[in-house]
Structure 1
Amino acid sequence: MTRPSGGLPPHPGLTGGPVYLDYNATTPVDPRVAAAMLPYLTDFFGNPSSSHPFSQEPRRALAAARAQVADLIGTGPGEIVFTGSGSEADLLALRGAVLASGRPHAHVITQATEHPAVLETCRALERLHGVRVTVLPVDGRGLVEPADLAAAVTEDTVLVSVMAANNETGALQPIAELAALAHEHGALFHCDAAQAVGKIPLDVRALGVDLLTVVGHKMYAPKGAAALYVRDGVQLEPVVYGGGQERGLRAGTENVALAVALGTAARISAAELADGVPARVKVLRDDLHRRLAAALPGRVHLNGPDEQRLPNTLNVSVDGVLGHELLAAVGQIAASTGSACHSGTHTASPVLTAMGFTPARALGALRLSLGRWTTAEDIATATAALTRAAATR
């Protein structure tokens, strides 16, 4: 592996193995993040809520981590609630807003390509609490039409939840416009920004969102570290009851080490955004796309917007192949498809079918997502392997 762009040393977990092009699934933990959290697994073990000296450093570190996450998304530390996953943050936002509203005929709006953490929470709210849910369609690029939201919102709408960036296609939704429409009707707006935070600049004030989900393992922190931005004044029903930690919204002794990891990851991501690292990743992504299209003329089709997408994400369908079979034949590439496997049978991605693609095109899809340690050599290796395998099919 050559040295990644931006002057980083090679990552020890990525050396000598397959080319890793699955950063949207999870990112390798940055060694700087691991080093920052380690003392809070060993030396600084105290409970941050205690009053003796052993609690002082954990309490200071927790506050610093909260401020680092807040800085990345343009808010203050008092509006950051640490959670154990993005799914939990989504649950706190959706369930919390609906139950806190006290409305007997609550209405929630989301959209068809949303993450299952949001869609399944909406279905549970329907089943358990009688909430009415509207799922907005998307166009062929995977984008919500603001006019559809304007037509769907009612006086009973408590919350609108639309993700910032799609995990499969990278499609970037018009969040600021959608949030403004929700607010015109008195509804709160939640944004699952798991895939977007750290990859593109995000400012919760500029977006006008009330709730926003941040996920650590999408930005080089360990799994199990996440947060929910909760705008001051927004009332939520807690997701965990008990001792009052995290503004009373998520009781339980805080996981200081993971909070430190998330904060450190946020600080590093903020520096990379300022340094233009996403633009360098975009150059590699576009080079990968050009190489694949040139090697397989007429067979490679982009799924998602040309420009209005994450700089690291390339979702393409290749004519005449099944995505999962192609990846299985290319052991030196670690990537994903949008399909799901049930008892040995693959079904098309709900995201791509919601965009109006045929089953054949959806099943031929590859999601190739780049990241901090992707190199030009990786792109050349991946292109050669994928095109060689596809050419024989």
Structure 2
Amino acid sequence: MMISSWRRRRAARSAAKEQQRGKIGDIELTLPVHFRCPISLDLMKDPVTLSTGITYDRESIETWIEAGNMTCPITNQALTSLELVPNHTIRKMIQDWCVDNQSYGIERIPTPRIPVSSAEVLEILSKITTASQRDDHVRCRELVAKIKAMGKEKERNKRCIVANKAGSVLSAAFDTFSRASSDRNVPVLEEILSALTLLFPLDAEAKSYLGSTASLHCTVWFLKGGDLSGRRNAVLALKEVLSSDDHRRTDALAEVEGALEAIVKLIKEPICPTATKASLMVVYRMVNSSYANENIIERFVDMGLVSLLLEILVGTERSMCEKALGVLEGVCGSDKGREKAYSHALTMPVLVKKLLRVSDLATEFSVSILWKLCKNEKREDGGVVVEALGVGAFQKLLLLLQVGCAERTKEKATKSLKLLNLHRNRLECIDSTDFKDLKRPF
């Protein structure tokens, strides 16, 4: 029986290989050896020749070189140059062979586009800088569109563009055109913003240009009044600008009229998950930075952010949940934020529900929020502490300690348990439905 099964599997594998080789009926089509890539052994779609004279498929040899190999895979000779020269002769022969064997189901390989070179990228970027300095918004927009098209065409092109500091050049151009308050610059600014989103993450120099006062005002303008793609690109740019813990940029953004309102609006009236997540990350960085401004947090609270976050947490996917909890944890670091959380009926049920259910990060944020709310409770009747007991926080925190967690989370959970324990005689704890079969250890 085992031999029979093995034979069937071998026959199936042989059939698959024959189909790949183009076997039709009783006629077997053999792929010429010199048409195969020496690395992948597949038909070459974009043959290129190394300095050693050996031809490979571009994708295969690029992967080899990017892995840190500086030798020819076949000859083992050191590469004197990393330039990959297109082998048009072999490529034409392969295409002719494909055409001659169309009757066997062979499709002609398309003529590949040659990847962009560093020299080409640098030339275009130089022209972008010149056009921006001359305030030639039409020419600059054309060049930026060309760079963007190149980046979208191939991943290799994108890597080449990024490596040649396109992010800094485009950000500098954005800053230059932002300083001129003219409606005629809107199209080029929109094009630059769109191109920049393809080049994230940006380096420090690019962030400094994009985080300038003029750039921030312009980005917020798109955030408030742009079309859907413009608003999405704007909030992605703000997320990138605030990715470094620089309180000066956070304060500068908060001072831009309508900035905070526009960010909260993207959360309240979502246009796409990407924009919502980026908005949450912007708020997260603004309320959790090492120089978090209490006034900024209070402004967010006054806009109804706490209620928005709790509504998001009622039912959402993991990534969104983690971000919403992270923002709520930062907001609850302020008196006004906690006050809103205390008064909302969903706060405790939602936080306890997220414990041990979403991810380690979500649990960490949930425990931190619980601890902040419980330790700052001032009502004599226990208030939120008693409410937490009623929805099963005690049991879940005990289970968390049993299954293990990060040391700082463990410390907060332990302290929270001590506070909860002080009020256990006030309320008969209601077992969480998720742990109805859990035996109480007390």
TM range (shorter): under 0.3
Q: Which has the higher helix share?
A: 2
Q: Which has the higher strand share?
A: 1
What is the TM-score normalised by the length of structure 2? 0.22
What is the TM-score normalised by the length of structure 1? 0.24
Name the structure, 1 or 2, with higher relative contact order (CA <8 Å, separation 6+): 1
